[in-house]
Amino acid sequence: MRKKIVAGNWKMNINATETKALIDGIYQEIASYDLTNTRVIISPSYVNLSSALALTEKGIIEVAAQNMHQAKSGAFTGEVSADMLQAIGVKSVIIGHSERRAYFMESDAILAEKVNAVLANNMEAIFCFGELLEDRKSGNHFKVVAAQLSNALFHLQANDFKNIVLAYEPVWAIGTGETASPEQAQEMHEFIRKTIADRYTKDVADGISILYGGSVKPANANEIFSKEDVDGGLIGGASLKPADFAAIIKSI
């Protein structure tokens, strides 16, 4: 049975002192909650990864990096490699977040290289993808999502997907004033699973966790997570508040 996952992407927020306070707060909020079939992941900035790992060493919270360069090493000022992350104990990496695609021009081809690097180093990729507002309004949303999956992931072998988590981000529903309904989330997640099944097998598709990344909050988490093909969420702003993040975790 595929795992339920609630992952918090802290983005460029939270300093070292705040990192400790936030982690302590999350632990306090979920201390008595049964998380037998649920993974809880937080993703601090690079400079706070080591301290976050130390603070979660004996707990149930996992720590992921927000990004990773595809090269093993080299003259890439400001970048971080898989070996550097592994050396401090990071086992999962977010790849292809919509902000990386938009602000840092990460193409499907670059993301395919990053996914390859993650898997080559026996790490897990939390692969993000999703359509823009113009794609949704023009009716091309399914075509765009299928292309993103095909271009960045469909060169992989079926067995590789045991180290892939998918995170669907309807970019059009994040900070635009538009709202994605739970039904729209389910519709796309079902399409994603079918697309994977058509390329590989139903077993591969049924085994992969697909997270929803469209402004999940305590108020809508329960309804979104109740959908058959939604296996959790990639949470932004709400993951910076212990009570809100815990409420979302408990909604799963």
Active-site annotation, residues: 97, 169
Greatest CA separation for the chain:
48
Reading the block at residue 38, the tokens are: 């649920």
Range of the domain at 47: 4-251
pLDDT of residue 176: 72
pTM of the model: 0.97
Nearest to 98, CA basis, from 126, 79, 119: 126
pLDDT of residue 45: 97
Residues 6 or more apart from 144 whose CB is under 8 A from it? Answer: 131, 132, 135
How many residues are given for the chain? 252
pLDDT of residue 211: 98
Nearest to 43, CA basis, from 200, 183, 167: 167
pLDDT tens, the chain, 252 aa long: 799 999 999 999 999 999 999 999 999 999 989 998 899 999 999 999 999 999 999 899 999 999 999 999 999 999 999 999 999 999 999 999 999 999 999 999 999 999 999 999 999 999 999 999 999 999 999 999 999 999 999 999 999 999 999 999 999 888 776 778 999 999 999 999 999 999 999 999 999 999 999 889 999 999 999 999 999 999 999 999 999 999 999 999
pLDDT of residue 93: 98
In terms of C-beta density within 10 A (0-12 exposed, 13-18 middle, 19 or more buried), how is residue 157 classed? exposed
Runs of H (alpha helix) within 121-225: 133-137, 141-153, 182-199, 202-207, 218-225
CATH number at residue 166: 3.20.20.70
Quote the number of domains for the chain. Answer: 1
